[in-house]
Amino acid sequence: ALADTISEWLDRLENGIGFVVIRGLDLDGWSEREAGLVYYALGRQMGVPVKQNARGHLLGHVRDTGKDIFTDPSTRGYEVRIALPFHTDTSTDLLALLCFRTARKGGESGLAPLRTIYNEVLTRRPDLIDTYYERFNFDCRDEEHPDGGPYYTRVLASVGADGLLSLRHNSGYARSAARRFEECPELTPQQDELLTLIDQLAADPDIHVRLRLEEGDILLVDNYSVAHSRREFEDWEEDDRKRHLMRLWLVLHDGRPLAADFDNRAGLMTTADIHDDGLAPV
């Protein structure tokens, strides 16, 4: 039964390696909307979709829009084709990606276990472990955070009431916040060193794994234990062949409790205000 299968996925995400790859959903002959509806309905069995941008989209579309992330501060990684370093997403328990169309070349995903990296930091630089529990500021990329303001402040690590260690990482947004906003404190030397070390460890081939999603594949990632990345890709010329992934951010029905200084989901659990290509709830 589907419920039993989903339960196995969630157990593997929470108590296992932190990601699940579901291969081979047959999308032949399906429109973008049909695929999105089925995918969205599957996601609703696992959790509540939360909005991914200021437009309120619950179903995100990961594809190259031609924007320049280096000159336009409102551009986000899912809108460009360049390589994206290892990071966790902003406001979700579970990241889900459905591959609707593949790129002509490149675009492989990387997955790095953050608890393994935490243990490596403890071994190599034990003096930096306490820095995980300091507050870092993260750029909202011109999208107002529910806390108010253009950046939000959270710790990188937290142990919840259930004893589970939850982790986040996004060195790009942490450095961007310190660079862009005068009222935002600079990173301390220890914070800078920790972010650099996490980046280096995540990029180590002995630590991360690489995989290529084919059409009809779904990737589920525990956002509190696994960071993800993407290699640069070359796209097809034809619009109807261009790389296209559909993304869900899901707050799980039975998700782990999170401490207030780590939890970033407040104000995002909504099924309203869907516009443009953000699929309406089913």
Domain ranges of the chain: 2-252
Q: 60-64, 129-133, 151-155 — which one is most confidently predicted on average? A: 129-133
For the chain, report the end-to-end CA distance as a whole number of angstroms: 21
The answer to whether residues 27 and 35 touch, using CB atoms and an 8 Å cutoff, is yes
pLDDT for 74: 65
Q: Look at residue 266 and tell me whether its pLDDT is greater than 80.
A: no
The answer to whether residues 101 and 215 touch, using CB atoms and an 8 Å cutoff, is yes
Question: Which pTM was predicted?
Answer: 0.90
DSSP 8-state class, residue 37? H
pLDDT for 276: 43
What mean pLDDT comes out for the span 260-274?
Answer: 62
In the chain, % of residues over pLDDT 90: 66
Interacting residues of 205 by C-beta distance below 8 A, sequence separation 6+:
none
Q: Look at residue 275 and tell me whether its pLDDT is greater than 50.
A: no
Q: Which of the four pLDDT bands, split at 50, 70 and 90, describes residue 148?
A: low
Q: Look at residue 41 and tell me whether its pLDDT is greater than 60.
A: yes
Q: Which of the four pLDDT bands, split at 50, 70 and 90, describes residue 268?
A: low
Interacting residues of 15 by C-beta distance below 8 A, sequence separation 6+:
none
Q: What tens digit of pLDDT does each residue of 199-217 get? A: 999 999 999 999 999 999 9
Closest CA to 202 of 135, 137, 116: 116
Q: How many Cβ atoms are within 10 Å of 128's Cβ, its own excluded?
A: 17
pLDDT for 24: 86
pLDDT for 147: 58
Q: Look at residue 108 and tell me whether its pLDDT is greater than 80.
A: yes
pLDDT for 272: 44
Q: What is the overall mean pLDDT for the chain? A: 89
Packing angle of the helix pair 32-46, 2-15 (nearest 10 deg): 70
pLDDT for 233: 86
DSSP H or E stretch at residue 199: helix 189-202
Phi first, then psi, for residue 90 (nearest 5°) are -70, -50
Please check whether the domain covering 2-252 is classified as CATH 3.60.130.10: yes
Largest CA distance in the chain: 56
**Which tokens in the block code for residue 94?**
């579970």
Higher model confidence: residue 149 or residue 21? 21
pLDDT for 121: 99
Higher model confidence: residue 192 or residue 180? 192
Distance from C-alpha of 198 to C-alpha of 87, rounded to nearest angstrom: 10
